[in-house]
């Protein structure tokens, strides 16, 4: 463990983000082991119990080695959003720093990272009439029509989601209708430091082809590790009645495709290929978001254990030892 004399008032908080499968978790964990550090997980799905393999949750050994926050803290049927995380994570980080420990934030959930670093705009409350009209239009015209409208009005916001994210799609159009301003305009106006924490946001970068190869390989490894059985258990618990009701937590790549397989909508082979495709699409949206909406320093992702340990060592000594 590295010992560095940094007072709690000016301890930096590393934020390690980037697209899925870029190696964020391994880097954060290795860096945390070199410090007296605790890890804040900025992954919107790892907070839910039972979603382990499909969310690439830290292993039991990793959880024993390092104190982790926002892992296995909620049930799947509980609601939790980026605003909740921004508030809760800020409090936890302050508590960690006050104890004299270091904190490292790691994760790729775009709104979680943005909310923590920048705060959120004061968005209007839901308008039942406008929402009903949008949801009616969603049923009659389809999600693609609404998505195309958002693309024409607020292309930056549209680039951070896709037509399947109907809740965010409807909410974005609702905000535009109520305020006359785009979500991007409102969020840009709200970007200001709202607390005294010194964040150092870093994003891992690697060639697109290599990233996609990692995604495909990791999907195969997840299937070999028992993702099918994990998804079936969740399907039996939460979706087997086929009432149409679903929980937002389960609208997650890796699970929803397997749920469709269980429901006879396509073969297992097709489900696995869809997981790979949808994960690649998600990574592309993450990259768009980080480049357009956040001020992050891009660094080359480690490609092997040697470069992983070297990068972790460099980060620790550059930001924590003076």
Query: pLDDT tens across 129-160, in order?
Result: 999 999 999 999 999 999 999 999 999 999 98
Query: Predicted confidence band at 109 (pLDDT cuts at 50, 70, 90)?
Result: very high
For the cut 50, the answer to whether the pLDDT of residue 274 exceeds it is: yes
23 assigned binding-site residue? yes
Residues 189-198 have a mean pLDDT of: 66
Residue 119 has a pLDDT of 82
Longest CA span, the chain: 62
Q: Are 199 and 13 in contact (CB under 8 A)?
A: yes
207 assigned binding-site residue? no
Q: What DSSP character marks residue 197?
A: -
Residue 5 has a pLDDT of 44
Residues 68-96 have a mean pLDDT of: 94
Q: Which residues of 74-83 are buried (b: 16+ CB within 10 A; e: fewer)?
A: eebeeebebe
The pTM assigned to this predicted structure is: 0.81
Q: Tell me the three state secondary structure of residue 312.
A: helix
54 assigned binding-site residue? no
Query: Predicted confidence band at 190 (pLDDT cuts at 50, 70, 90)?
Result: low
19 assigned binding-site residue? yes
Residue 187 has a pLDDT of 78
Residue 240 has a pLDDT of 61
Residue 195 has a pLDDT of 59
Rounded Cα distance, 197 and 236, in Å: 43
Query: Predicted confidence band at 244 (pLDDT cuts at 50, 70, 90)?
Result: low
Which of these ranges, 128-137, 185-194, 286-295, has the smallest mean pLDDT? 185-194
Residue 48 has a pLDDT of 98
21 assigned binding-site residue? yes
Residue 11 has a pLDDT of 87
Q: Could you list the beta-strand ranges (E) of 190-296.
A: 198-205
Which of these ranges, 192-201, 214-223, 227-236, 269-278, has the smallest mean pLDDT? 192-201
Tokens linked to 259: 């749920």
226 assigned binding-site residue? no
Residue 245 has a pLDDT of 65
**CATH class in words for 128-189:** mainly alpha
CA 190 from centre of chain: 21
Residue 122 has a pLDDT of 72
Residue 285 has a pLDDT of 95
Q: What DSSP character marks residue 70?
A: S
Domain ranges of the chain: 12-119+191-320, 128-189
Q: What DSSP character marks residue 40?
A: E
Residue 185 has a pLDDT of 86
Query: Predicted confidence band at 124 (pLDDT cuts at 50, 70, 90)?
Result: confident
Q: Are 36 and 102 in contact (CB under 8 A)?
A: yes
Rounded Cα distance, 108 and 8, in Å: 26
Q: Which CATH architecture has domain 12-119+191-320?
A: 3-Layer(aba) Sandwich (3.40)
Q: Are 55 and 46 in contact (CB under 8 A)?
A: yes
Higher pLDDT, 163 or 46: 46
22 assigned binding-site residue? yes
Residue 164 has a pLDDT of 87
For the cut 70, the answer to whether the pLDDT of residue 203 exceeds it is: yes
């Amino acid at each position: 463990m590295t010992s560095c004399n940094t007072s709690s008032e000016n301890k930096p908080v590393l934020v390690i983000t980037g697209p899925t499968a870029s190696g964020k978790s391994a880097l954060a964990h290795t860096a945390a082991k070199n410090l007296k550090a605790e890890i804040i997980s900025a992954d919107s799905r790892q907070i839910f119990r039972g979603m382990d393999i499909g969310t690439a949750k830290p292993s039991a050994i990793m959880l024993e080695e390092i104190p982790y926050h926002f892992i296995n803290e909620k049930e799947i049927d509980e609601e939790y959003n980026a605003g909740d995380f921004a508030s809760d994570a800020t409090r936890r980080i302050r508590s960690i720093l006050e104890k004299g420990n270091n904190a490292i934030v790691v994760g790729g959930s775009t709104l979680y990272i943005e909310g923590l670093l920048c705060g959120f705009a004061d968005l209007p409350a839901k308008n039942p009439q406008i929402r009903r009209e949008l949801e009616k239009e969603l049923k009659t015209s389809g999600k693609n029509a609404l998505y195309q409208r958002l693309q024409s009005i607020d292309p930056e916001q549209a680039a951070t989601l896709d037509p399947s994210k109907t809740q965010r799609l409807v909410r974005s159009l609702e905000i535009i209708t109520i305020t006359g301003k785009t979500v991007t305009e409102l969020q840009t106006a709200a970007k200001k430091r709202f607390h005294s924490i010194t964040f150092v946001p870093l994003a891992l970068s690697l060639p697109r082809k290599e990233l996609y190869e990692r995604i495909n390989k990791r999907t195969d490894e997840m299937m070999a590790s028992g993702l099918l059985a994990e998804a079936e258990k969740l399907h039996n618990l939460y979706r087997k009645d086929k009432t149409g009701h679903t929980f937002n937590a389960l609208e997650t790549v890796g699970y929803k495709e397997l749920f469709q397989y269980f429901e006879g909508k396509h073969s297992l082979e097709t489900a696995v290929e869809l997981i790979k495709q949808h994960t690649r699409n998600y990574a592309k949206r993450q990259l768009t978001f980080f480049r357009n909406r956040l001020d992050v320093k891009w660094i080359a992702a480690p490609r092997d254990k040697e470069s992983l340990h070297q990068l972790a060592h460099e980060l620790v000594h550059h930001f924590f030892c003076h």
